[in-house]
Structure 1
C-alpha cells in the first residue's frame, strides 16, 4: 500500500541545481524532504506495538471477553493513528503557503502574510525533548515580526543529516521566494 505522505517526491533528490521548484502541480501540498530515520524508526516501533496490542485483542475476543477485546482494539487504533500522525509531521509547501504540521496541531500561513525565511543559529530542542542544544533553525518571519520555526537540524528528520537539512531549507526558501514575490 503506497503511503504518499511518507516519502517526499523524488524530484527533490534528482533536481538540477538551476531548477528550484521541479514540479508541474504547485497547488498540491508537498514535503520537500524525506522523513528522517528517527521519525520513521519511532513510527515503526509504534506500529510493532500496535500489532501486539491487536493480537492481544483478538486472543481476548476468542476467550469471550468482548469488552476487553474492544479496549485492546481501541488502543491499537489509537497507536496506529499516532504512528501515522508522527510520519505526517513536518513542513509542507505549496503555491498557497507553508504548513507546519505538529503532532497535535497544524499551522498554515499564506505566503502573502510572510516577510522572510531565514536560517539562524540558535538554541533548538533536541528530538522535541525539553533539552536544548546549539543548532540551526529555519524561521518563517510573519508580518508583524512574529517568528515561526519550521525546521531545526536537531529534530527527528535532520539529526545527524546536515546535508539533508541544507537541501530542505534551500527548497523551502525557493518556494517562499517564488510565491512571496508573485
Structure 2
C-alpha cells in the first residue's frame, strides 16, 4: 500500500546533479498538488513506528478482551487503538508542504496555509529553536516566512524531528522551499498593465 506522505517526490532527490537546484525543486509535472520537499526524518519515523507498535498491542488486547466476552471493553480498546493509529499518521504528515498555491505548515493539531502572493520574504536565520518540538530551546537555524505586516512564521528548523543531526538535509529542504517561493512568489508574478 503506497503511503505518499511518507516519502518525498523523486523530484526532491538530489542525486541528479545535471540540473540546477531550481530545476530539481520544480521538476515534477503537477505543481497544483501539495508536496513535502524533503523526506521525514528518522526521529519522526521512529516515533510513528513506536505508536503503531503500541496500537498493534492495543488491538491484540481488544481481540483478547472480545474473546473473553467483555464487548464494551473490547470496543474501548479498539477505539483507543484507532486514536493511536490516527496520531501516528498525523505525526507523519507534520511538516512543510509546497504547491503552486502557497506554502502549508502542518502541525499536530493545526494547519496554516499562506499563499505565495502574501509572502514577502523567505530567509534562513540563526535563532533559538525548539529541540524536537519540546519546550527546551537551543541555538539553531530556522527557515522563516515573512508576510506583509505579519510576524515571521518558522517553516523548518534544524533541530526538529526531520532535521536533527541532518544539517545537509535542512539546507537542501530550505533551498527547495526558497526555489518555490522564487518561482511563485510576488516577485515572479507578472505585473498587469494599467487599464487591464
| Greater CA drift, 83-92 or 7-16 | 7-16
> Within 2, Cα distance between the matches of 1:15 and 1:150?
26
Kindly provide the CA deviation profile for residues 42-64 of structure 1, in whole angstroms up to 9, marking residues without a partner as x. 00000000000000000000100
Kindly provide the CA deviation profile for residues 5-57 of structure 1, in whole angstroms up to 9, marking residues without a partner as x. 11001221144441141111100000000000000000000000000000000
Give the deviation of 1:145 after TM superposition: 3.5
Residue 53 (structure 2) pairs with residue 48 (structure 1) = yes
The count of residues paired between Structure 1 and Structure 2 equals: 182
Q: TM-score, normalised by structure 1?
A: 0.98
Residue 112 (structure 2) pairs with residue 107 (structure 1) = yes
- Which portions of structure 1, spanning 4 or more consecutive aligned residues, are displaced by more than 4 angstroms? none
Which residue does the alignment assign to 1:81?
A: 86
Q: TM-score, normalised by structure 2?
A: 0.91
Unaligned runs of 5+ in 2: 190-196
> Within 2, Cα distance between the matches of 1:107 and 1:8?
20
Kindly provide the CA deviation profile for residues 63-103 of structure 1, in whole angstroms up to 9, marking residues without a partner as x. 00001000000000000000000000000000000000000
- Is the CA contact 2:26–2:180 (under 8 Å) kept in the aligned structure 1? yes
DSSP-derived class of the 1:157 partner: coil
Residue 165 (structure 2) pairs with residue 126 (structure 1) = no
Which residue does the alignment assign to 2:65?
A: 60
Query: Which residue of 23, 30, 37 corresponds with 2:28?
Result: 23
